[in-house]
Amino acid sequence: MIDINGMAHVILTVSQFDKAREFYCGLLPFFGMKRVFDGDEFCYHVGARTAIGIQRCEEQYADERFVQLRVGLHHICLRARSREDVDLAGAKAAELGANMVRGPEERTWAPGYYYVLFEDPDGIRFEVNFVPGQGLLNEDAMLEPDGDYS
């Protein structure tokens, strides 16, 4: 067994690179992340103990959009430090033109689970949540699904 030290990065492949760059370059610095690379095909932000990059898709996929329930990524979620931060994240995403899917609101996935869910320009779902205490990071925590993970 090894002891993983968090998630190093996530790279999202996008078909609307220019729109995605504008969106993420507005959103990720608001989350305390610094843009460390910005090119014609790739943009990368680092901070908040992780990194997020966006990569232009290959030309033959330029007309496609993200489909959440296909094989691959379902959504990305960042942990906030407070309910107020979730509210601020939702307001910033809306200001940047995100499709607001749900929230901010509380759910029963864990005690005090509070989140907002929105979509980037390609429809990739992005969540920001807050769970009091250790939440589901505590190995003794039990997830009580309410059946709606979309």
Condensed to tens digits (0 to 9), the pLDDT of residues 40-51 reads 999 999 998 899
List the 125-130 sheet strands across, edge first. Answer: 76-79, 125-130, 114-119, 99-106
Q: What is the pLDDT of residues 97-149, one digit of tens each?
A: 999 999 999 998 888 999 999 999 999 999 999 999 865 555 554 555 554 54
Summarize pLDDT for 77-102 with one digit per residue, the tens.
999 999 999 999 999 999 999 999 99
pLDDT tens-place string over residues 24-77: 999 999 999 999 999 999 999 999 889 999 999 999 999 999 888 888 889 999
What is the dihedral angle through the alpha carbons of 11, 33, 66, 76, rounded to the nearest 10 degrees?
90
- Calpha distance 117→140 (Å, rounded): 26
Read off the tokens for 122.
Answer: 């390609």
Go through the domains of the chain in sequence order and give each one's CATH number: 10-63+73-137 (3.10.180.10)
CA 48 to CA 38: how far, in whole Å? 19
What pLDDT score was predicted for residue 16? 94
CA dihedral sign, ordered 28, 111, 117, 57: positive
